[in-house]
Amino acid sequence: MFKQALSASRRCTTDVEKLKKVQYELMKLIPQETFEQSPAEMSYHVLRVVNEIVGCADPFAEGKSRSNTAMLELYPDLKETVESSADRLHTAIKIAAAGNVIDMGILQRFDVRESIDDILERSFRIDHFDLLRRDLMSAERILYIADNAGEIVADMLFLETLGRKDVFVAVNEKPILNDATMEDVGRVGLDRVAAPISNGSEMIGTVLSDCSEEFRNVFDAADVIISKGQANYECLNEADENIYFVLTAKCPVVAGALGVEEGDAVLKKESPDDGR
């Protein structure tokens, strides 16, 4: 939490006194936090402190823009990789999982191309793709919950490969970390392949109690939900809906909960034997 706050603060200021104040305020805040909350919710409270002290509503704006541009430049090559593969949809979702390495809240350095090449060679550590393909074939309503800017280009490739126009894709209402917003959706053209919807929340991940009624209605009505990233996994892993989690494990706690190693890519249905 301290490292994340300092990283965000330094994107906005070099004022040592402000950086100290952020740390001092977190020393007061963090002991008051409860483990009843998800780590994503705790991170949100931490970043609110940064915003209040440093006065920067979107510290990651420049980084998000660079990520979008870099992934759009990779897109033609990624598209060719998918088109030339034996199983286009499986390859596309592996690339989408590899794109989850773009995370400025946890990882300060990442190589998307290396991550993509690695997953194409090694595949998922947990792979429930056959269940997902089955559910997608029978689903009438699909919700895809996106994660980060830049990464949404890989999501766009998957949704384009899926080839259905009746898919909702959800992003954050307001900037937080490098989470994707409607602005990013328009920037990369994701709205060409799915119907974008805001979750109505400014919190990290998908905290259902903080989401809009419009989003909750779409969430509750979905036959299949594809959830991207660690924060969404932390928020939704105990939900009852038919959710598939697609992520790269980027910390030891999440990796341990999933039974994988840090850096492993996962496509996991939380209850694979539930008969649905």
Mean pLDDT of 19-25: 91
Structural domains for the chain: 2-54 (no CATH), 61-269 (3.40.50.10880)
**Six-digit token string for 242:** 């038919």
Tell me the pLDDT tens digit for each residue of 140-186.
999 999 999 999 999 999 999 999 988 999 999 999 888 999 999 99
Contact in structure between 160 and 85 (CB atoms under 8 Å): no
Number of C-beta neighbours around residue 127 at 10 A = 17
CA angle 90, 96, 97 (to 5 degrees): 90
pLDDT at residue 109, rounded to an integer: 52
Contact in structure between 224 and 135 (CB atoms under 8 Å): yes
Assess whether pLDDT exceeds 50 at residue 107: no
Tell me the pLDDT tens digit for each residue of 38-71.
877 888 888 888 888 988 878 888 889 999 999 9
CA 176 to mean position of chain CA atoms: 12
Cα dihedral 254, 98, 235, 244 sign: negative
- For the chain, the farthest-separated pair of C-alpha atoms sits apart, in whole angstroms, at 57
